[in-house]
Every structure is written in structure tokens, then in C-alpha cells.
Amino acid sequence: MLKGTTENLSKSKQANLSKSKQIVGEILRLNEDPTVHGVALHLSENAYSNKILNAVKPEKDVDGVSDVNLGRLVRGDTYNCSISPTASAVMELLEKLGKTILHGKKVLLVGTCGPLEASLQCLLQRKGAMTMSCQWKTQQLQSKVNIFLCQIIRSHSATLQCILSKLMKLSPTPTCTAFLNSAIWIWITPTPLGEGKSTVTIGLVQALTAHLNVNSFACLRQPSQGPTFGVKGGAAGGGYAQVIPMEEFNLHLTGDIHAITAANNLLAAAVDARILHESTQSDKALYNRLVPVVNGVREFSSIQLARLKRLGINKTDPGTLTADEISKFVRLDIDPSTITWQRVLDTNDRFLRKITIGQANTEKGFFRQAQFDIAVASEIMAILALTTSLADMKERLGKMVVANDKNGQPVTAEDLGVTGALAVLMKDAIKPTLMQTLEGTPVFVHAGPFANIAHGNSSVLADKIALKLVGEGGFVVTEAGFGADIGMEKFFNIKCRTSGLVPSVVVLVATVRALKMHGGGPNVTAGAPLKKEYTEENLQLVADGCCNLQKQIQIAQLFGVPVVVALNVFKTDSHAEVDLVCEIAKQSGAFDAVPCNHWSAGGRGAVELAQAVRKAASQENSFKYLYNLELPIIEKIRIIAQKVYGAEDIELSPVAQSQISRYSKQGFGNLPICMAKTHLSLSHQPERKGVPTGFILPISDVRASIGAGFIYPLVGTMSTMPGLPTRPCFYDIDLDPDTEQVKGLF
Amino acid sequence: MLKGTTENLSKSKQANLSKSKQIVGEILRLNEDPTVHGVALHLSENAYSNKILNAVKPEKDVDGVSDVNLGRLVRGDTYNCSISPTASAVMELLEKLGKTILHGKKVLLVGTCGPLEASLQCLLQRKGAMTMSCQWKTQQLQSKVNIFLCQIIRSHSATLQCILSKLMKLSPTPTCTAFLNSAIWIWITPTPLGEGKSTVTIGLVQALTAHLNVNSFACLRQPSQGPTFGVKGGAAGGGYAQVIPMEEFNLHLTGDIHAITAANNLLAAAVDARILHESTQSDKALYNRLVPVVNGVREFSSIQLARLKRLGINKTDPGTLTADEISKFVRLDIDPSTITWQRVLDTNDRFLRKITIGQANTEKGFFRQAQFDIAVASEIMAILALTTSLADMKERLGKMVVANDKNGQPVTAEDLGVTGALAVLMKDAIKPTLMQTLEGTPVFVHAGPFANIAHGNSSVLADKIALKLVGEGGFVVTEAGFGADIGMEKFFNIKCRTSGLVPSVVVLVATVRALKMHGGGPNVTAGAPLKKEYTEENLQLVADGCCNLQKQIQIAQLFGVPVVVALNVFKTDSHAEVDLVCEIAKQSGAFDAVPCNHWSAGGRGAVELAQAVRKAASQENSFKYLYNLELPIIEKIRIIAQKVYGAEDIELSPVAQSQISRYSKQGFGNLPICMAKTHLSLSHQPERKGVPTGFILPISDVRASIGAGFIYPLVGTMSTMPGLPTRPCFYDIDLDPDTEQVKGLF
């Protein structure tokens, strides 16, 4: 009987093998058939085998996926098969399809959700099937997100243009001030290695949509090319929680950052050119050039008419201005020593941190000291993230202050006549770019302001559009950079004031590694191997470090929004360590605290988190801002320093004091505050881990981004232009000229 | 009887009016119908009326279009109507459709060729129907160009990726060295106003395809944003000979120039950072950083292995290098005084012409003098225009020389380890962008190298792909900047050597205005009104100026290719002037000379030119290069100066002489020559018009673009960074935030 069973099994196995070979042949035939426009290959979750998984696993190590049974192959509508091919048959199929796709014959859609699909995509991408990862899982998006999102992979397409003008009208504009079905994520005071911020966001939406069948959208920031080619590398997430196509995400994408660079630098060029022209021309010559006779007619442009109005000159005929009015009109009288508008580049170029410009003879001795910042530090980027419409963006661009005139009055982009041109350069960048996760969840990628000198949050527009798209009961998970002291505080006090929206849940990302560091563990440095304290169980370090987690939870509670702690589990974390963190988090006031394994298991690894977030979102929400805008600037700074950072008090430098009184006089005193502080400590000193106390926060300078709409006090010196290390990331980045595959970009 | 007729006419008119109202209603209904996916509106050429034309005419003045009869309305496949609506009915329809489209309800395709369609597009664009001009006239392209070009408006789309890898294989690779069915256009030594170079190209392809039913493609350069916002304005053509959508063409388009900026500046940052790191670290420290231990393993990257090979070190294990080998490997020993690689921006920023970089404390005193060029002056742009494949581009990028080392040996991008990253940044830019003319003729927009310090021609890849697409009997009209002395000479001696292709016809663009200037007319200055010599008939000036035209024809004949003169007619030109130019041109050896009215009449106005070009292309072609590459650099320069410019001889500065001997020693002596000379005169002095003689051409310096593959002698000083004037173009550029329409961009 035993023998018979074995024989039967063997026979059935053989039959299965032969059948699955047939299927492979059939699919390959269909793939070649010119009348068939796509082959959808569905592999059920139980189709994993070690052999397949080993063959298709992504570059980085993956654990947590175990040996499972064979699955079945189904081709879309027209081809359906219920038998189970062997692992080797699947392998053979993948090999052959990989080659076929390489030859560009047919698009292959892989329709299964979960880690296996991620693996297949990685494999097929390695094999040259670039088209695949760019293909929208239209059906899934249609049914889940309930709109026609086909072929909108790029924000530049005509279709996505509609999103701005039309999709904003999809459902009635929310009148409530809370955006209840949403979550923001915030991470704990991080180590220099990062604690997996992007992966949690992506894992969470994958869990919500692909596993719990809840509409969801992730709103991510676009990464700068500086770090991508410099030290840090890309930012598309990792493991089985990634944004695809990863190459596009980490490269130019739809050119938004390049547009910012172009607009920023046009304004910078206009400032210096104007100073030169005013210094070398008479009032009359300037007037003749600014308001020339064209085809016998002399007219003011609309931007010039607006300037006349601001100057109190209510005339429209250029011939009627008095000499005095002409002088007022043509001279901005910029004081070169007050110029705050810098040039930018999206490259880590440390040699541009301090430069002298204007040294050619043609600039007639008007040289001055200046600097380049990284493009994402431009005020225009901060505006892009905060704007709510084209009209609003144009207004903000015009209001940007570039310098003071010799009377101490602010000179704006509008005064230079460049508002319209800046808006034209930014007209496509204002549209969020739609991408997807490995499991087909939609992702808006939009804006990416510097998180120290600016607010570090993804865009208001992307949040608003995504909220409409997910509909009732859906979730928008939006990114806020750095810890609760930096990312969350700015999110609530700056971004929420602009958008009028409030999230229903704060997701706080923690790692055992970061908590151990806060508990007194040794230094963590990028590039150096981790000390054994971080790779072996050490409950005492974890327990001691949870003070930081507790403080972060308390900061969130200041705003009245429930907190869910997502513990991003690494393979070296012990069960006891994981349990300890979750226990302490809950004791510290978190609504819930759950471990997440999205990196190794995709959305499936974040299902528990998704459930906790849903539950928390149904709670009562008693949101409040931390400070009233009408308070004096100094008071607002003090409230943030004391309530959020835990400082005893603040200390202003004389420069900071005089800047504050200047901004107050200029009428900018009612703006929110955007602290420029390190993210590596709750205090201003990066080396002080845990919960520092008893410190006085020094404010060295105070600056303003009037267009973006905030005052930013500098706590210490902030580098706004990173440098290239001895061995930059670019050493490992390469392009295969035959397959067009990008290598080494993470 | 008369009365009866009038009555009948009136009745028939009324019936017509009522019928056409029905049609308007029907089309509007269809436009709202959710089951109808597009309404194609065909207006035959005889549907013009002054009322329509006045309402829809573009911003600039248009003449040459006369009053014509009413037409008919047809909706695509499913809606067909043979009656003629009245002009007012058409107007009403346009008004309503404009509004409907504005609300984003439906795509409208306007399927008529010719000026009226251009007008309709302008009107509808003004009304917010942005989608329309972006719609491909798929059917026309399919039947005319014989490929599936739907939805390839952007080079970034997955579909156009195929073009590079697949379309190059569409037809057998040509084995001939002549690309017979093609034409290049070249203009006469121009006035500072330009003589209508883009419009002739566009008019010619419109005539060929929309009127003579011949497959054709225009290959244009992408304009820089510098001039667009500075002095010159956009470059999309004008009148009824334009590339659409004009806004995209003049703005970021698909980001190619931004990609060049990013790649150029990453390399520049790498040069300075490397000098700093080498100066502040020991051999051992450098080695540990360049070849770090990662997860316990120490490996060379592939770009490092290649460097070892170049150094003659045949080792692959990092542990086995001797101290001496390590020192050779880690030190590039760049001599900062020899750095030729400059940073770039696509902005007219004159204050960056000469700067001092590295003045921050973090750069430890390694400041030096440097400069920014306009992005299109980057060697990477010259490479983009000359490259033939991804593999070729990567090789050229790696070969770019950035400086010499302290032994006088060239240091390349490959030595800095950045080749792969540069190729990755340029991977999409290498794909030509497909656009269309107002009359639906396909246009490749690709690359746009500076025409003075580089070769100024559109891309080899676009030409090659377009040649395959037009098929046998089709025409590719490709752009070459400036006059025969600059654009054409470089086209033949540099671009044709790279591509292995030779055109069958040279189209020389002339204007009565430019010829009058060469004949001794007063100065022509941008911005100032034209003197009466240019607006009134003056046959003597024209006759005298034709010496320049004659010389240009003779230059073309040096290369053995027939010349067709296209006289771009302005409304102030008299018949006698036009006839005189054509007569002299033919006497001077032109195959033919014809007047063109494409600006006012679209392709219809260039039909005579198209016919002349077709005829000339069927002539015997006896192409030859002007010089042999093996000649010494000095000889090659002398041949160009004497045979093309008409110089008596050349005179080298000591710097130029030493550079020539350095390049010859370094093995670069066999490269072609790319003269950096003014385009405003055949000589080196812009003010010398006509045909200057008896001059000695001074060569002040000689430089090299090794990656692009040419040596460029400087004839006088060449500005590589334009400035902003007192009243830049940006004053008039604006964005309507409601309709998203761009204003003031020409």
C-alpha cells in the first residue's frame, strides 16, 4: 500500500510535470501570438518554492519567506488553467519569458500580490523586461481606487493634468478641518543609518490595499539626486516594500526638481543683473529699456502695472510719469549685502558652499560673495510642498523676498517682474507624479523640501488629491521627515495650517537599533560595521533607550492625535526585545504598538500595523495646534523649544534678535515657525541621545521664507550643500548599454 | 427673376443655417456623451471665412490668407454631414467646444491640414483646450510615416524606448554612405534678427507631407531656456510653420537639457572633491575609502578594475597591491591649473562667467577660479548630438578629458569613476523627442549644441531614426546652425564623418533683409525699428549683397552637394527684389532658387521649395570631405580658413601653438576641427559683411572636446554664458492659473 501510494504520487507528479510543460508551451505561444496583447501570469501565494525564491530574490538578503507548495498559472481572461506546474516548470517559464520580453515582443503582467510578485518583478527587470514594472496594474487600481488611472505613470501626461483641474472636484471639497481617513508617519530620533522610514510607509499601504482590501495611497517625497550619487543612495524603500520603477524614482522622474532649479536660478540671475543694470544706467535709460517702444507703441506690461500700483502711482500711460515717479519705478535699489536668495544645483558640490561671483570684466567690478545650496533647499521647493493651487503657487512665488532695498524694505520676485516666468517654469511640477508600490498600491511622489531649514513634508496637493481618490473609508499615508520634534511638529504647525487638514493617526516608526543607541549603545556610523550591542540581544539597552520613544509619543499627544508605534523589525532583533518595545510603547500612551516585517514579507508583514492604524483612526480626535500665530516670534520659538525639545529656555544671538525685530516690523510676525535644528537629537547637539534635559537652545540667526510662509530660526549651523565623499555612490552605478538596465542604484 | 433668385438664395441660406445649427447641437451632444471617446472635427480648406480667420488668427500678424467659402463638418467615423454650416455656426461651435474642452469633458481632434487647422489649434489652445495640441494625428502619421506612433509624444515613454532598440532595426541598416533622401538647411550669414531658419525647416516638411503626400520628418534642435527667458525668445518657428505644443518645446520638454546639466555638474563636483580628498589623505586612507570592506569583503568595482588595467596593474584582489601600485591607483594627481571642465546652468547668468569656488572653511583653502557656461555649451551636449548608440555614448562620456595630471597626461571622466553614473543620468536624454508641426508632420527634437564652440547640429540619432521611418522616397530635413561657413562646414566635416551619412540637398535660406545688409545697408539691431532701406524696395542693395549668397553657394559646392536657395519672403519684399535674388542665385550655381511663404500660408507656401528639393535630390551627388583627418591640426585649420572663410592665412598665438603640440602628443591630432568663430561674418570680425577678403584669421587658443571628438580653435573670444538684458523676455511671460495657459512665450 505504501508502495502503491508512492507509485500513484509519482505518476501524478509526472502527469503534473507534463501538464505544466504544456502550460509553459501554451503561454510562450500566446506570448508570441500577434493577436494577443498581453499575457497576465497569476501565481498564487502558495506557489512559492525555495527554488523559485532563490532564483528571483532581490539583490539584498531576504528572510522570513518559507518553503511553500506549488501554485497554478492563469492567463488573464482568455487562458485559465487549474493544474499546478512544478517549480522547475515555473522556472523554465520565467527564463523563457525573461528572454522573450527582452526581445520586446510582449508585455507581461504578473497579477499576484505579495512577495513572490516582487521577486518576479525583480527577476524580470534584471532580465531586461523594463516595460513590466512600468505597466500599471490598471484593473487593480480601477477597482481599488475607483478611477481611471491607466497610463498616468508620469505627471507630464495630459491625463494627469486633469487631476489638478478635475480630480480636485471629484467629490465635494471637504468642509471639515480634519482629514480623518489618513495617517502620517514619523520616525523616532534616528541613527545615521535611517530606521526604514520609506519602507514602513510603503509596507503600510501595501497591507491596507493588497491585503485588507482598503483603498489607500502613499504620498512620498521625491529624493534629491545629490544623495543618490553621493553618500546616502536612493530612497525608493527596500526589500519587498518599494516604489517602482525604482530607477525613475531615484533619477529625474518627471523633472520637478530640475524645474525648481531652473526657476530658482532665473530669479538669482535676475537679482544680480538688475543690480548691475541699475548701477550703470540713468533713470531715463532704464525706463527706455524697461518700457520700450514696440512698433510705435509704448506700454507697461501687466507685471509693471502691478508694480506701479504697489508704488501708489495710478497711471497706465508710460508717457505721463514724472521724473520722480520714473525713478521710483525703475530703481529697486537692492542692497547687495542683504541678498538672501541663493543659487541652487541638485548635485553634492561642496566647492560651491562659498563662492565669489561677478569677477569677469563684463560685470564691471560688481563681484560679491554668494553660495549654491542643494536644489531641494530652495524656497521654491518649500512652496511646492505647501501650495494648494496654481493661483496660490503664483502668489507665493511673487511674494518671495530676495533682499532688502537700501531703506530696509523687502524686495520680492514680483518687484523683479519674474513671477509669471517662475509660474510657467513650475506649471508641470505642481502636478503630483503617480507611481506604484511593488504590490500595485498607488503612490504620489511630490516635492521634497529639506527637513532642517524647511518643513520636510510631502505636498499638500498630493495629500488632498489622494484623499479624494481613496474615498470614504480609504487611507492616505503621508510622509513627514525625521522625528516628532522635527517632522511632526512642522507637519502640524505649518502644513496642517496651510491645508486645513488634520490626520487621524500618527504612526511612529521605531527600531530596536535606534532605541539601543538612545539607551547608551556605542556610536552608529554609516559605512562602519555595527557593534555587537546592536546584533545581539540586550534588553537593558532597549529598556533604557525607550525614554526617547516615550518622549516622541508625548510630543504627538500634545497635538491630540492617537499614536501607533510601528516597530520595524530587523533580523537580528530578538522576540524579547520586540515584545519589550511594544510593551513600553503601550504603557507610554501609544494607542497600539506592533512589529512590522514588510521589508522581508511585503504588505503581508504590515497587516497587523494596518489593522492597528484602522482602529486608531476610528478613535475620537482632539487636535489642537501648539501655538497661536498671533504670538510674538520669540514666544513661538520658546514654546517649541520647551514643550517639544524639552529645553529650559532659548537664547537669541544679537543677529537673531535684530532679524526678529526686522521681520516683525516688515509685517511677517504672524507666520508659523520652522525650526532649523539637527534631527539626530531632541536637543541642538547631535551627540546627546535619549531625552536631553537642562539645556538652553541657542538661536544663532533667524531667516524667513515669505513665499513659503514661515520664519526659520537657525539652531547652530546648517549645511545646505552636502559634499561628495572619497568613494561616492556613483562608483557602483552603471548602465548596461544593451539592455538599458541601471545597476547599483538603491 | 432676380428677386426670385435672391429669395431662393435667402431660403437656402436659412435652411443651411438651421441645418448647421443642428450639426452644432449634434456635435455638442456627442461631446457630452460618455460613450463617445472623441469627436473629430474636419474642416476642409475651403471652409475659411474672414470672420473665422479673424477670430482664430495667431498672436502675430498673418497675411496671405484670403476670403474663401464655407465648408462642412464631419465627425470621424460615426458622424458625417455633407451640408455647409455658416461661418457664424462654426464660430458658435468653436466657442462652445472651447468651453466644453475647457471643462475637460472630451478630446477634440481637428483633422484638417493647412492654415485653418493651425488657427483652430491656436484658438482652442487659447480657450484652454491644451489636450488638443498634444493629440497625435495618429492616422495621418500611421499612413504617412508607416509606423505606429500613437502616444509617443514624449521621449520618456516606454514606447519610444523601443525606437532606439527596435526602430533602428526597422529596415536594413543602410550600407551606402549617402543618405540620399534628405536635405539639410543652412542659412545665409544672418542679421542679428535671424532670417527664419526654423520656419523654413517646418514649412518644407509641411509642404512635403501635408501637400505633396511625401513622407517627411524634421529634425530640430532643442532650444535652451537661457534665451527663451533672456533676449531671443523661443524657437518653435512662427506663423503657420510651428512646432506644437510650442510651450513644451520652449520649456523643459522631456528634460534632456536638465539631464545634461545634472551629468555635467556631477563630473565637475567629482573633480574638485577628488583634488580635496587626495590633498588631505594618505595613500592608505584613500585606498581604504576607495576600496572599503563591505560585509567582510573587499572588492574592486568594475570601473576600478578598468582603471587598474589602464595603469598596467593586472590584479583583481585588493589585498595584493604593492604600496607603489596603491599610490598609482588612488592618486589622479590633477593639476588644478589645467582643469578645463566647467560647471553649467541653463540660465543666462552673467555673474557666473568668472567666479572663485571653494571659499568655505570646509574646503580647507582649496579655492580656485572657475566659471559656469550655459548648459548647451557642455561637451555632453555635443556628445548627445553626435552619438550613435548607448554604448557609444557611454564610451564618449568616459573619454571626456577634464584636466591634465601633474605629468601632463589627460585625466578623464573614466579615471574619476563616474562614467556609469553619467550614462545613467543620460539614459533617457539619448532618446529623441517626437513632436509635430501645425500640419501634423512629425518632428524629432533632439540635442542642441552651441553652434560656435561646438558643432551646432541636431542629433545623428534623430536623423538615423527619421531616415528609417520615412522609408524610400521620403525626406528628412535636418537642422544645421548658422551659415555655410559655420553650420554646413561642421555638418559635413564633423557630423557626416560620425554618422556615415551624407545629405542629397543643401537648402540655403536667404532673406532680402540680410542680403541688403551685406550689400551695405545700415546696421540691424534687435529691438530697434528697421531702417527704411529694409522696408522699401532697393534693388541695388539686394544686388550688391548677393555676393554673400554667391559665396555661400560656392562653399556648399566645395562638398559636391546640390544647393537649393529658399528665399524666405517678408511682406515688405517687392516682387522685383524676390525675382532678382532668385535670378542671381541660379546664375551663381544654385540648382534652383524659390520664394517661400510658409510663415503666412503654412506648408502651402513652401510647395515650390519642396518640389525643387525633390528634384535636386534626384541629381547625381559627388560628395567629398574638405580635409583629410590625418593632416596636422594646423593644416586642417588653414584649409577651413582659406577655402571656406576666404582668409589669406591663419596666425596662431603662442598658447594656441603649445596647445596644438600638446594635443598632438596626447594622440588627439587626428580629430576633426570645430572652429569657434562668430556667425555674423564670414571672417572673424562680426562687422565685416558681404564677402570679406585679405584678412589673416587669428587663432587665440585651441581646446579639445575629446569625448565629442573634435579640436576647437578659438577665433577671438567666445562668450559661453549669455546675460540678461535690462528688460528680459520674462517680463511678458505669464501663466493663467485658471486655464493653465502660458502667455508671452514665443
Helix axes A379-386, A256-280, angle to 10 degrees: 130
Nearest chain B Cα distance for residue A37, angstroms? 14
Higher pLDDT, B184 or A602: A602
Judged against a pLDDT cut of 80, whether residue A666 lies above it is answered with yes
DSSP string covering A327-358? HHHH---B-GGG----EEESS--GGGSSEEE-
| CB-CB under 8 Å, B352 with A743 | no
Beta bridge partners, B651, equal: B698
Buried b (16+ CB within 10 A) or exposed e, A409-423: ebbbbbbbbbbbbbb
> If DSSP codes are grouped into helix, strand and coil, which group holds residue A426?
coil
Specify burial of residue A119 (Cβ count, 10 A radius: 0-12, 13-18, 19+). buried
> If DSSP codes are grouped into helix, strand and coil, which group holds residue B305?
helix
* pLDDT for residue B475: 87
CA B691 to chain centre: 27
* pLDDT for residue B588: 95
| CB-CB under 8 Å, A158 with B154 | no
* pLDDT for residue B52: 42
Nearest chain B Cα distance for residue A482, angstroms? 26
Mean pLDDT of B575-583: 96
Chain B residue at shortest CA distance from A734 = B420
Range with the lowest mean pLDDT among A92-101, A191-200, A437-446? A92-101
* pLDDT for residue A244: 72
Q: Which helix (H) or strand (E) holds A703?
A: strand A701-705
Q: Best-predicted range by mean pLDDT among A144-148, A240-244, B618-622?
A: B618-622
**A13: number of Cβ within 10 Å:** 11
Mean pLDDT of B556-577: 91
Range with the lowest mean pLDDT among A36-50, A673-687, B280-294? A36-50
All 3 cell numbers of residue B699?
587663432
* pLDDT for residue B92: 55
Which residues in chain A have Cβ-Cβ distances shorter than 8 Å to B734?
302-303, 419-421, 423-424
* pLDDT for residue B438: 74
Picking from A730, A736, A738, A740 by the largest number of B CB atoms within 10 A of its own CB, the best residue to mutate is A730
Best CA proximity match to B598, nearest among B565, B568, B564: B568
Q: Which helix (H) or strand (E) holds B698?
A: strand B696-699
* pLDDT for residue A340: 94
Residue B721 near residue A263 (C-beta atoms within 8 A): no
**A102: number of Cβ within 10 Å:** 16
* pLDDT for residue A228: 84
Which residues in chain A have Cβ-Cβ distances shorter than 8 Å to B745?
424
| CB-CB under 8 Å, B723 with A273 | yes
Amino acid at A716: G
Judged against a pLDDT cut of 90, whether residue A378 lies above it is answered with yes
- Per-residue pLDDT reduced to its tens digit, B163-198: 344 444 333 333 222 343 455 555 556 666 667 778
Question: CA angle at residue A740 from A738 to A743, to 5 degrees?
Answer: 110
Range with the lowest mean pLDDT among A363-367, B99-103, B608-612? B99-103
- Share of residues in chain B with pLDDT > 70 (%): 72
* pLDDT for residue B18: 64
Residue B26 binned pLDDT confidence (cut-offs 50, 70, 90): low
Q: Cα dist. B570→A317, A686, B135, B597, B672 in Å?
A: 32, 69, 32, 8, 38
DSSP A654: H
| CB-CB under 8 Å, B424 with A742 | yes
| CB-CB under 8 Å, B273 with A350 | yes
Range with the lowest mean pLDDT among A130-139, A553-562, A672-681, B667-676? A130-139
As a three-state string, the secondary structure of A110-172 is ECCCCHHHHHHHHHHHHCCCHHHHHCCCHHHHHHHHCCCCCCCCCCCCHHHHHHHHCHHHCCC
* pLDDT for residue B473: 77
Best CA proximity match to A449, nearest among A533, A344, A530, A549: A344
Judged against a pLDDT cut of 60, whether residue A429 lies above it is answered with yes
Cα A431 to Cα A444: distance, rounded to the nearest angstrom: 10
All 3 cell numbers of residue A229?
550619487
Nearest chain B Cα distance for residue A214, angstroms? 28
- Per-residue pLDDT reduced to its tens digit, A500-543: 888 888 898 899 998 999 999 888 876 667 888 898 999 999 99
- Catalytic residue numbers of A, as ranges: 197, 199, 221, 232, 451, 482, 570, 599
* pLDDT for residue A26: 62
Residue B113 binned pLDDT confidence (cut-offs 50, 70, 90): very low
> If DSSP codes are grouped into helix, strand and coil, which group holds residue B440?
coil
| CB-CB under 8 Å, B427 with A740 | yes
Nearest chain A Cα distance for residue B526, angstroms? 11
Which residues in chain B have Cβ-Cβ distances shorter than 8 Å to A726?
277, 281, 286, 289-290
* pLDDT for residue B21: 63
Residue found by looking up cell 589585498 in the block: B319
| CB-CB under 8 Å, B289 with A726 | yes
| CB-CB under 8 Å, B154 with A154 | yes
Judged against a pLDDT cut of 60, whether residue A174 lies above it is answered with no
Q: Best-predicted range by mean pLDDT among A62-76, A346-360, B91-105, B238-252?
A: A346-360
Q: Is A482 left (phi over 0), alpha (psi -120 to 50) or beta?
A: left
* pLDDT for residue B441: 78
Chain B residue at shortest CA distance from A275 = B726
Cα A744 to Cα B226: distance, rounded to the nearest angstrom: 34
Judged against a pLDDT cut of 60, whether residue A353 lies above it is answered with yes
Mean pLDDT of B47-75: 30
- Per-residue pLDDT reduced to its tens digit, A287-316: 999 998 877 789 998 889 999 999 999 999
* pLDDT for residue A31: 52
Range with the lowest mean pLDDT among A237-241, A703-707, B668-672, B733-737? A237-241
Range with the lowest mean pLDDT among A170-174, A200-204, A569-573? A170-174
Cα A718 to Cα A699: distance, rounded to the nearest angstrom: 12
Residue found by looking up cell 545629405 in the block: B503
Residue A558 near residue A484 (C-beta atoms within 8 A): no
CA A474 to chain centre: 20
| CB-CB under 8 Å, A527 with B734 | no
Q: Is A262 left (phi over 0), alpha (psi -120 to 50) or beta?
A: alpha
| CB-CB under 8 Å, A292 with B134 | no
Cα B124 to Cα B144: distance, rounded to the nearest angstrom: 26
All 3 cell numbers of residue A144?
481599488
Chain B residue at shortest CA distance from A161 = B131
Range with the lowest mean pLDDT among A11-20, A45-54, A694-703? A45-54
- Catalytic residue numbers of B, as ranges: 197, 199, 221, 232, 451, 482, 570, 599
Cα B746 to Cα B736: distance, rounded to the nearest angstrom: 16
Specify burial of residue A739 (Cβ count, 10 A radius: 0-12, 13-18, 19+). middle
Which residues in chain B have Cβ-Cβ distances shorter than 8 Å to A421?
229, 730, 733-734
Number of helices (H), then strands (E), belonging to chain B: the values are 28, 28
Cα A700 to Cα A635: distance, rounded to the nearest angstrom: 16
Residue B241 near residue A245 (C-beta atoms within 8 A): no
Mean pLDDT of A243-272: 89
ipTM: 0.82
Mean pLDDT of chain A: 77
* pLDDT for residue A190: 66
Chain B residue at shortest CA distance from A301 = B732
Q: Which among B255, B362, B732 has the least Cβ separation from residue A255?
A: B255
Amino acid at A457: N
Q: Which among B349, B390, B732 has the least Cβ separation from residue A268?
A: B349
pTM for the model: 0.83
Judged against a pLDDT cut of 90, whether residue B406 lies above it is answered with yes
All 3 cell numbers of residue B400?
571626456
